[in-house]
Amino acid sequence: MPISSPSRVHELPADEQAVYRRLDAERLPQHVAIIMDGNGRWAGKRLLKRFIGHQQGAEAVHFVVETASRIDLPFLTLYAFSLENNLRRPKTEVNFLMRLLRSYLGSNVQRMNDNNVRIRYIGRTQELPSEVREKMQWAEEETARNTGTTLTLALNYGARSELVDAFRAIAEEIRDRKLQIGDIDEQEIQRRLYTAQMPDPDLVVRTSGEMRISNFLLWQIAYSEIFVTDRLWPDFRGVHLLEAIEDYQRRERRYGGLGDGSESDDVSSLPANSVLVPR
Ligand code: FPP
């Protein structure tokens, strides 16, 4: 059994402690995934260039990761760069995001080590520029021995292409007679996703108010709770992560079943085609 490390909750700033005290520490989510949106709007509201919004967005990442590590959240996944961002944004913005990622990794590995955070990635990362991949690999190796929060950055990520990659892997195994068609079930698909080593997200947070999933973890969020805030990503802090968790804890997860305390009606004697609701 792993020896649990001492709690770091006392390191939370006062406003975060106040929210944390309202949480049920026994029912913290295991995995929170965040769609970080609104960098451009944050900059636009201040008549600043979009890249300043991205810079502030990278700062927000550090604050949220630190809070996650202090409450010992096992998995935090951040949608940092989608396949669609890569294909549809101007080259200058994509290049800036790549430079920002390198600089974020370069200047945050020490902090990750101080916070016992391990970094990893999901997405078609092999398509990213080589100098970015080198930095990513370096950061992953430097933090590999940490045992606290696993921070996963989704980079050049798209959920549909993740599924395509999984189905291709399965097809190759069938071709090579390592797998039979009858063996394919949900578990076999899950094992071939980029997220095979982590639990599905309990909670998905999206900033800046859009009610969309934007091709993020489509398979994995089948039963996730979704929390959307109007706050723009550069303004998002650890206290807002804790508030999202508080909201999550107020919900009842049913996984398609009935909630606690609801009893199934005995309908065995009723004809299935009659109108049951009095008008
Ligand atoms: C959405 O803002 C955000 C992104 C395109 C990527 C997220 C990137 C960061 C938070 C910064 C870099 C991250 C790391 C890990 C270094 P948007 O441009 O779509 O905003 P808008 O919808 O308001 O235009």
The pLDDT, as a whole number, for residue 272 is 60
Closest CA to 239 of 9, 6, 19: 19
Per residue in 195-209, pLDDT (tens digit) is: 999 999 999 999 999
Second-level CATH architecture of 9-158+200-249: 3-Layer(aba) Sandwich (3.40)
For the Cβ of 119 lying below 6 angstroms from any atom of ligand 1, the answer is: no
Distance 249 CA to ligand 1 centre (A): 27
Dihedral, CA of residue 58, residue 62, residue 68 and residue 71, to nearest 10: -160
For the Cβ of 231 lying below 6 angstroms from any atom of ligand 1, the answer is: no
pTM, two decimals, is 0.92
For the Cβ of 57 lying below 6 angstroms from any atom of ligand 1, the answer is: yes
Q: So which residues are the catalytic ones?
A: 37, 85
* Domain ranges, ordered by start, for the chain: 9-158+200-249
Residue 192 CB neighbour total at 10 angstroms? 16
The residue whose CA has the least distance to atom 5 of ligand 1 is 81
The pLDDT, as a whole number, for residue 1 is 40
Dihedral, CA of residue 112, residue 118, residue 124 and residue 127, to nearest 10: 50
State the DSSP H helix or E strand holding residue 152, giving kind and residue range, or none if neither: strand 150-157
The residue whose CA has the least distance to atom 1 of ligand 1 is 37
Per residue in 220-234, pLDDT (tens digit) is: 999 999 999 999 999
Over range 51-72, report the average pLDDT. Answer: 98
- Please tell me the distance from the alpha carbon of residue 236 to that of residue 42, in angstroms, as a whole number: 11
* Residues whose CB falls within 8 Å of the CB of residue 259, separated by 6 or more in sequence, listed in order: 252
Per residue in 91-137, pLDDT (tens digit) is: 999 999 999 999 999 999 999 999 999 999 999 999 999 999 999 99
For the Cβ of 12 lying below 6 angstroms from any atom of ligand 1, the answer is: no
Over range 56-62, report the average pLDDT. Answer: 98
Locus of tokens 């909630």: 259
User: Is pLDDT above 80 for 139?
Assistant: yes
